[in-house]
């Protein structure tokens, strides 16, 4: 069994895979990760390998503890990857984006794939039918847009995410919801269409914390998979274990 550890800024996703099957998943606070891993270690005694993807701050002492428990792989741009990285600054490519691209190789090898990760940021990653990663784009996510309107203006309130009743907002709150949500939806649909014009038979994957909310509203044909990053990390661990 494999333990997948996806570290964000405040929370950590822990997942257990038996080969390609998701057995267990939980989200914990970053300061509780070792306690949770110790619980999982006792419950799932077959776990022998682990991978860490950290875009947040996981203390080195915690990494050392995990390394004592399992055969550990820490994801970075230097490990063996199943695609050609054509990014001009490969050292700056986030480990989360690397994992997403590996997920596409695992499930959609030798296809033109656009992966959209809708979380704190919305990232777009494109890999072509030759398994060449070419890059993509990064833009603010839904919550960042709401918070920016509140933080960078004097009078606009901070609102919770909500699908607007109509595109024309007739109150300040409705106008904010319309601007944020329809702005994101039209951005995503527009980018998908731009990629489709240049790439035949494009497969589009939508993942991330906001994927379920957005997938119901998008015009474009997509595959929504909130676990796509975890699946990519599991594939990387298998790939580097010669499975």
Is residue 96 annotated as part of the catalytic site, yes or no?
Answer: yes
pLDDT tens by residue, 185-202: 999 999 999 999 999 899
Query: Do 91 and 51 lie in a common domain?
Result: no
| Per-residue H/E/C for the chain | CEEEEEECCCEEEEEEEECCEEEEEEEEEHHHHHHHHHHHHHHCCCCCEEEEEECCCCCHHHHHHHHHHCEEEECCCCCCCCCEECCCCHHHCCHHHHHHHHHHHHHHCCCCEEEEEECCEEEEEEECCCCEEEEEEEEECHHHHHHHHHHCCCCCCCCCCCCCCCCCCCCHHHHHHHHHHHHHHHHHHHHHHHHHHHCCCCEEEEECCCHHHHHCCCCCCCEECCCHHHHHHHHHHHHCCCC
Q: Which of 96, 117, 125, 210 is catalytic?
A: 96
Residue 79 maps to a domain? no
Domain range for 92: 84-233
CATH number at residue 166: 3.30.420.40
Residue 238 maps to a domain? no
Which band of pLDDT confidence, cut at 50, 70 and 90, is reported for residue 59?
Answer: confident
Average of pLDDT values for 58-74? 92
Query: Do 197 and 108 lie in a common domain?
Result: yes
What's the mean pLDDT when you consider all of the chain?
93
Does residue 199 or residue 241 have the better pLDDT?
Answer: 199
Query: Do 21 and 122 lie in a common domain?
Result: no
Query: Do 62 and 108 lie in a common domain?
Result: no
Query: Do 114 and 203 lie in a common domain?
Result: yes
Query: Do 111 and 176 lie in a common domain?
Result: yes
Query: Do 194 and 220 lie in a common domain?
Result: yes
Query: Do 51 and 100 lie in a common domain?
Result: no
Q: What confidence score (pLDDT) does residue 54 get?
A: 85
Q: What is the pTM of this model?
A: 0.90
Residue 243, pLDDT above cutoff 60: no
């Amino acid at each position: 069994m494999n333990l997948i550890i996806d570290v964000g800024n405040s929370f950590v996703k822990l997942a257990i895979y038996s080969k390609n099957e998701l057995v267990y998943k939980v989200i914990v606070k970053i300061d509780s990760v070792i306690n949770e891993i110790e619980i999982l270690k006792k419950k799932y005694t077959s776990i022998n390998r682990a991978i860490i993807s950290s875009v947040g701050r996981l203390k080195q002492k915690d990494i050392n503890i995990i390394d004592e428990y399992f055969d550990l792989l820490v994801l970075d741009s230097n490990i063996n990857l199943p695609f050609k990285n054509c990014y001009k600054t490969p050292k700056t490519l986030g480990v989360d984006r690397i994992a997403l691209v590996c997920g596409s190789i695992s499930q959609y090898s030798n296809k033109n794939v656009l992966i959209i990760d809708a979380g704190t940021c919305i990232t777009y990653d494109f890999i072509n039918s030759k398994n060449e990663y070419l890059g993509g784009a990064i833009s603010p996510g839904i919550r960042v847009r709401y918070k920016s309107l509140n933080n960078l203006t004097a009078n606009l309130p901070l609102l919770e995410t909500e699908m607007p009743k109509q595109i024309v907002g007739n109150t300040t709150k409705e106008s904010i919801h319309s601007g944020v949500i329809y702005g994101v939806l039209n951005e995503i649909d527009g980018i998908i269409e731009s990629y489709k014009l240049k790439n035949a038979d494009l497969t589009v994957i939508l993942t991330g914390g906001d994927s379920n909310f957005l997938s119901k509203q998008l015009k474009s044909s997509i595959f929504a998979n909130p676990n796509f990053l975890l699946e990519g990390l599991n594939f990387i661990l298998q790939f580097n274990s010669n499975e």
